[in-house]
């Protein structure tokens, strides 16, 4: 499968050329255009081997994400016996990074997943109370298998090698290796530092693996737009 990332890192767009029989799975709503030879099938992201209860769980989570966050977790499958092309773009301005998985797995923040190709299994993973406290959301996306995953960010994406411990502001996390552990803590400076420093809560990663961070924080969009909303 051939792909090109254009217009990065400000308004990145992913252009994919599919050979006959190839399939790419993309986040719902990310398609810009596609060739007429491609067919699109909408599916719930329940994992490849999910049974009845797994699909029911995925459907229940999708409803929660729609009600609470205004988003769902449906994915579109693009394929064709003849091959073709599709253009994909994220909702926010930022970068697109292809990640090669070879039997390992990575965990991505809500909204970071754009598309995947190959033998990739996508699952929803409960982040627990610590993820809610860190404003990362209740659910993560876990990708595993062999193939490529395309992730997106708000701003540019940087890759960090963690060997021991590393502290990242929670609003800048795109994804991380599943082998890493993390804990939630204050940014420092006691109560005054927590309230007035603007840093708030950070995530301290421990172990060996890579961390993907974005150069901008999506919470800044809310702070910028709030004064413009009508009372």
Query: How far, in Å, CA of 53 to CA of 58, rounded?
Result: 9
pLDDT value for 195: 46
pLDDT in 10s for each residue of the chain, 231 residues: 899 999 988 899 999 999 999 999 998 889 999 999 999 998 876 555 555 566 666 666 556 554 444 445 678 999 999 999 999 999 888 999 999 999 999 999 878 899 999 999 887 776 555 555 545 555 678 899 999 999 999 999 999 999 999 998 878 889 999 999 988 776 655 544 444 444 557 788 999 999 999 998 876 665 444 444 455
pLDDT value for 186: 67
pLDDT value for 209: 95
Runs of H (alpha helix) within the chain: 52-69, 128-133, 190-196, 219-225
The SS3 assignment for 226 reads helix
Q: Could you count the other beta carbons within 10 Å of the beta carbon of residue 75?
A: 20
DSSP letters, 152-203, are E-SB-EEEEEEEEEEEEEGGGEEEEETT-EEEEEE-SSHHHHHHHSS--EEE
CA distances from 147 to 2, 65, 70, 150 (A): 13, 27, 30, 10
Q: Say how far residue 201 (Cα) sits from the centre of its chain.
A: 20
Burial of 194 (0-12, 13-18, 19+ CB in 10 A): middle
Yes or no: say if 35 and 79 are a contact pair by the CB < 8 Å rule. Answer: no
Yes or no: say if 151 and 180 are a contact pair by the CB < 8 Å rule. Answer: no
């Amino acid at each position: 499968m051939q792909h090109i990332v254009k217009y990065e890192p400000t308004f990145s767009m992913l252009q994919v050329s599919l050979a006959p029989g190839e399939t790419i799975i993309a986040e719902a709503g990310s398609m810009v255009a596609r060739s007429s030879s491609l067919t699109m099938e909408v599916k719930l992201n329940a994992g490849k081997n999910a049974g009845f209860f797994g699909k029911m769980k995925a459907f229940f989570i999708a409803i929660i994400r729609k009600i609470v966050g205004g988003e769902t977790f449906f994915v579109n499958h693009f394929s064709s016996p003849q091959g073709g092309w599709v253009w994909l773009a994220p909702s926010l301005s930022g970068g697109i990074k292809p990640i090669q998985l070879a039997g390992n797995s990575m965990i991505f923040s809500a909204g970071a997943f754009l598309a995947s190709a190959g033998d990739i299994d996508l699952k929803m993973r409960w982040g627990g109370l610590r993820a809610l406290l860190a404003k990362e959301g209740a659910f993560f996306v876990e990708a595993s298998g062999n193939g490529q995953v395309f992730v997106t960010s708000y701003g540019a994406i940087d890759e960090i090698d963690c060997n021991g411990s590393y502290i990242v502001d929670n609003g800048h996390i795109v994804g991380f290796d599943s082998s890493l552990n993390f804990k939630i803590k204050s940014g420092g400076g006691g109560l005054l530092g927590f309230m007035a420093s603007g840093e708030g809560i950070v995530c301290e990663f421990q172990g060996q693996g890579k961390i993907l961070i974005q150069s901008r924080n999506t919470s800044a969009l809310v702070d910028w737009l709030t004064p413009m909303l009508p009372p």
